[in-house]
């Protein structure tokens, strides 16, 4: 595989956002295509829109401005990877370094030094994936876009390219999972923005998308409407799935309520109430029953989070036989008197 450094002008390359290797959600500044009349961030037919993201990762983000400033002062330290990939105009195609080239254009440079690789497509894809794995961190949206680009580029040879994709994702990738991930950007703008901003992970969005009741794009919009920790986000997705499991009517009623309530309560709180409208009352009744059993402090009865499911957990951590016997006797008395049965009825929604 031959490589050579070559001074290249911007007129001699396919614009960064039009490269079949480009998977970035947004690029610094304006591309040559923008100057020719294309709306900013419009990648052209058949491509997922490259819109600015609410987390500041758009074209005018601090990271992109810093890259433009750095290149304007000291130039490009690492030359982008170019290839004479088939183009009707005979131009070079950027294989890796789309952000650097876009930033150089935004910085006012007229030409740049690129590393030209004379290799067929099967030789270019591993270099492209290696650069993606070692470059700037990718959002889950950009990883999904990259998976889609790889499917288009690899064709029937996808399986042979998956080790390189696995290095980008940090997990083993299969053909089926790669195709599922690649479909996520097609769920719509709300899903794309949520994925890019980290309001939902690709794994969680796949779970929502696979549920027959849930509109994943609408769910992603709800998740991105407020700032959440990863733990809160994960619990919120779990409750979305739990509520949808209770039926289409329950889920669609919640969607209508969430749409009409505006800011209202936090999404997680509304989901808890939707899953269990009498949650506070039921919790209070269970606390009263458990307290009335008189269990020793070393024993406890726990119920599932948000009272989901129909099981309770009796935990006893006692080394003394007499206190163990006392705890079991009190639990048995509660069972005989129907108190334990009442807790189970509450869990079943009765």
Q: The tokens of 267 are what? A: 């999404």
Same domain, 130 and 30: yes
pLDDT at 249: 92
CA pair distance 302, 287, nearest whole angstrom: 10
pLDDT at 57: 44
Give the gyration radius of the chain's Cα atoms: 28
Same domain, 221 and 336: no
Residue at 192 is within a domain: no
Domain boundary among 255, 275, 295: 275
Same domain, 252 and 303: no
What Å distances lie between residue 157 and 104, 122, 135, 177, 275, CA to CA? 34, 9, 24, 16, 46
Same domain, 78 and 31: yes
Where residue 173 falls (left for φ over 0; alpha for ψ -120 to 50; beta otherwise) is beta
CA pair distance 135, 117, nearest whole angstrom: 19
Which domain range does residue 305 map to? 279-347
CA pair distance 81, 96, nearest whole angstrom: 5
pLDDT at 309: 63
pLDDT at 350: 62
pLDDT at 81: 95
Pairing of strands 81-83, 2-9: unpaired
What is the separation of C-alpha 336 from the centre of its chain, rounded to a whole number of angstroms?
Answer: 50
Per-residue pLDDT of the chain (350 residues; tens, 9 = 90+): 778 888 989 999 999 999 999 999 989 985 434 434 343 334 333 344 433 333 334 567 788 889 999 999 998 888 999 998 777 778 999 999 999 999 999 999 999 999 999 888 889 999 999 999 998 889 999 999 999 999 999 999 999 999 999 999 999 999 999 999 999 999 999 999 999 999 999 999 999 999 999 999 999 999 998 899 999 999 999 999 989 998 999 999 998 877 755 557 899 988 988 887 777 788 888 889 999 999 888 888 888 766 766 678 888 888 888 888 888 999 999 999 999 999 888 887 66
Beta bridge partners of 9: 111
CA pair distance 123, 92, nearest whole angstrom: 16
pLDDT at 39: 35
Same domain, 165 and 242: no
Q: Give this prediction's pTM.
A: 0.76
């Amino acid at each position: 595989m031959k490589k050579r450094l070559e001074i290249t002008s911007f007129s001699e390359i396919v614009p960064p956002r039009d490269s079949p290797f480009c998977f970035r959600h947004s690029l610094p500044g304006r591309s040559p295509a923008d100057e020719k009349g294309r709306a900013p961030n419009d990648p052209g037919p058949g491509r997922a829109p490259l819109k600015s993201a609410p987390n500041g990762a758009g074209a005018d983000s601090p990271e992109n401005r810093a890259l433009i400033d750095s290149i304007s002062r000291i130039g490009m330290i690492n030359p982008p990877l170019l290839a004479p990939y088939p183009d009707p105009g005979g131009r070079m195609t950027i294989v890796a370094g789309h952000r650097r080239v876009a930033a150089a254009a935004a910085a006012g440079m007229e030409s740049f030094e690129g590393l030209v690789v004379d290799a067929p497509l099967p030789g270019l894809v591993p270099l492209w994936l290696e650069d993606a794995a070692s470059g700037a961190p990718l959002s889950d949206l950009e990883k999904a876009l990259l998976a889609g680009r790889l499917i288009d580029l690899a064709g029937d040879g996808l399986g042979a390219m998956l080790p390189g994709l696995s290095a980008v994702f940090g997990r083993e990738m299969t053909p089926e999972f790669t195709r599922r991930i690649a479909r996520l950007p097609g769920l719509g703008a709300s899903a794309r923005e949520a994925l890019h901003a980290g309001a939902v992970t690709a794994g969680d969005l796949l779970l929502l998308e696979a549920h027959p009741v849930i509109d994943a794009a609408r769910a992603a919009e709800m998740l991105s409407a407020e700032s959440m920790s990863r733990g809160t986000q994960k619990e919120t997705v779990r409750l979305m799935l739990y509520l949808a499991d209770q039926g289409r009517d329950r889920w669609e009623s919640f969607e209508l309520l969430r749409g009409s309530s505006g800011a209202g309560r936090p999404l997680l709180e509304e989901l808890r109430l939707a899953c269990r409208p009498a949650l506070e009352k039921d919790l209070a009744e269970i606390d009263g029953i458990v307290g009335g059993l008189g269990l020793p402090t070393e024993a406890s009865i726990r119920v599932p989070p948000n009272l989901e499911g129909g099981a309770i957990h009796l935990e006893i951590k006692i080394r003394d036989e007499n206190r163990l016997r006392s705890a079991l006797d009190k639990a048995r008395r509660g069972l005989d008197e129907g108190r334990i049965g009442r807790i189970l009825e509450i869990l079943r929604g009765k």
